[in-house]
Chains A and B, each alone.
Chain A
Amino acid sequence: MVLVYAESPKGKFKKSAFEAVTYGHKTAQVLGTQCVALTLGDAENAGQLGKYGAAKVVSVGDAALNNFDSQVHAAVIADAAKAVGASVIVVSHSSSGKALLGRLAARMDAGSVSAAKAVPTNDGGFKVKTNVFSGKAIAEYQINSANKVLSLMGNAIQPEEVGSDVAVEAVSVTVPASRVAIKEVKTVEGTVPLPEAELVVSAGRGMKGPENWGIIEDLATTLGATTACSRPVADTGWRPHHEHVGQTGVAVRPNLYIAAGISGAIQHLAGVNSSKVIVVINKDPEAPFFKAADYGVVGDLFDVVPRLNDALKKYKANS
């Protein structure tokens, strides 16, 4: 059995949860077994996970699980796996999923693969691919233990509707007391967080100063994109730190990454080279970013970005 932990922050599933269930379903098919989805704490309309291939949904509704503590969550997930007889666990490669992956692997003495990017194969060994060296290479891991734990990289596969809603059953699992007290949560509301964003508009030192960011925000608004920046921009306080993309910042994997006034240093590319399509706007035709780009515009961003925004508005109005 394959058990997928479908995260439901503030009681709601995000796209990453549907991706994880789709992935769990496909993994179960490869192994000739079934996929069961697990929800912890509040989870509205959990039966819908059946649409993405869960044969059933089990839940531990204890409100204490609405606060994330890797120690508590890992214990509950491992016990739920035992209860449903699952030996393969799938979590999202989110901030909580990353903490759970290691804990679950240690708890279940399982081989694990972090940020899986493709459905496993099971032909002479259970193998899973993931990016290594900050996206500069791909490694195929083989897991040799009976128990296996995988975290699924965001946007690696798209959710697929293959079934219909299923029943939600409560599983009885003891929830241990947490030793971590959450004092405060500060999130930016209204925008998709960068690690999950499908459209990203990013800008660098070529912007000259924070007062010029209006054109970037306008473009992001037109597209419905999340804004990002290069490291020096965050370091000098032009933009908040959570926007910093790259090797030492956030790694993104959007369908579209638009970079304006960013030179494309290797440390920046490390965080963006898994993007599906990259558009680079830079006045220097020699900027290294053009080598990593699909589409390039050599020009002054202060002209090009507003022009692109107008063209997009026209396109949106006509489609």
Chain B
Amino acid sequence: MKLLVCVSKTPETTAKISFSGDNTQFNEAGVQFIMNPYDEWYALVRALELKEKAGGSVTILNVGPAANDTVIRKGLAIGADNAVRIDAEPKSSLFVAKQIAAHAKEEGYDMVFLGKETIDYNGSEVGGMVAELLGQPYISFATAMEVNGNTATITREIEGGVEVAEVDTPFVLSASKGLAEQRIPNMRGIMMAKRKPLKVVAATDATDLAVVASYELPPAKSAVKLIDPENMDELVRLLSEEAKVI
């Protein structure tokens, strides 16, 4: 099985969020970046498990600048066979998806894995876009997958429950919690990663159709109103009369 895992780089969860240049840019100073957890913990690991069982190869792909190579090396350390970085600033989802699709069309993968969403932009967009550009089925938010020959049985999250779908390769899927268990790279993996191929390729032409014009921080929360634990009638009164939520 020839498998592709798309990985993105995001600020680590506890990073302080601030903006510069008239609130048009995310301020990266002092921010630590990580591989997007959905990509690393679930998409990549499930792809590796499939390869370990049925053979084949796992390629990881990132659309981004040279600074992303550290994140890509981590993916290689966890076990991917090789990596491709498409050298471009990822400013919009459709731009990124067009880069991924161009690469995937050329290579012809059996499955393309993505994460459920990036934890910075929370878009959940790229997966559907890649699937459409490739003309393939898209199973989003997969929490479990069994593969039998060319047929995959995938459990995916829907409102208030799950759905089990059957689909033949090739297809695109996005990974949610449950699809696999996180793997920590070991020393040997880290050493081997240094010698694994990381190919840098030029971007294909595409324009950014939707871009961030400006950022703002949410209005500051006013201080918490503490209620006497003996007096829950008061809390109910406030929820009804002041907050008007019940």
Contact = CB atoms under 8 A, between A and B. Distances in A.
Contacts of A142: 210-213
Contact of B161 (A94, A185, A279, A298): A185
Contacts of A102: 93, 97, 124-132
A205 interface: no
Nearest to A142: B213
A116 B116 CA distance: 18
A314 B177 contact: no
A41 to B, nearest CB: 15
Contact of A95 (B13, B121, B158, B221): B158
A74 B132 contact: yes
A314 B232 CA distance: 11
A139 B212 contact: yes
Given A137-B216, A277-B239, A106 B210 contact: no
B138 A106 contact: no
Contact of B137 (A71, A115, A135): A71
A15 to B, nearest CB: 12
Given A95-B141, A267-B13, A296-B226, A112 B125 contact: yes
Given A95-B140, A139-B215, A185-B161, A106 B132 contact: yes
A38 interface: no
A309 to B, nearest CB: 8
Given A247-B119, A304-B232, A315 B243 contact: no
B235 A279 contact: yes
Contacts of B28: none
Contacts of B230: 307
Interface size class, chain A: 35 or more
Nearest to B210: A111
A182 B209 contact: no
A194 B221 contact: no
B148 interface: no
Interface in B158-196: 158-168, 171, 177-178
Contacts of B143: 241
Contacts, number: 278
Contacts of B97: 102, 106
A291 interface: yes
B132 A188 contact: no
Contacts of B140: 70, 95, 98-99
A194 B126 contact: no
Nearest to B136: A71
Interface in A184-212: 184-188, 191-196, 199
B111 interface: no
Contact of B132 (A107, A185, A315): A107
B159 A297 contact: no
B171 to A, nearest CB: 8
Contact of A109 (B130, B209, B218): B209
Nearest to A190: B160
Contact of A297 (B128, B136, B209, B227): B227
B200 to A, nearest CB: 25
A180 B122 contact: no
A133 B11 CA distance: 9
A255 B133 CA distance: 38
B94 to A, nearest CB: 6
A110 interface: yes
A256 to B, nearest CB: 4
B13 A106 contact: no
B17 A133 contact: yes
B102 to A, nearest CB: 12
B132 A304 contact: no
Interface stretch (A17-25, A27-35, A124-132, A164-172): A124-132
B14 interface: yes
The 10 residue pairs across chains A and B that have the minimum distance between CB atoms: A102-B128, A193-B160, A299-B229, A187-B161, A111-B209, A111-B210, A106-B132, A311-B232, A102-B129, A106-B129
25 contacts: A102-B128, A102-B129, A112-B94, A114-B122, A132-B120, A136-B17, A137-B216, A137-B218, A140-B214, A141-B213, A142-B212, A144-B211, A180-B166, A185-B164, A195-B159, A248-B38, A266-B13, A276-B245, A279-B239, A291-B221, A292-B221, A295-B227, A297-B235, A298-B229, A311-B233
Interface of B: 11, 13-14, 17, 19, 37-38, 92-94, 97, 119-133, 136-141, 143, 153, 156-168, 171, 177-178, 208-218, 221-222, 224-227, 229-230, 232-233, 235-236, 238-240, 243, 245-246
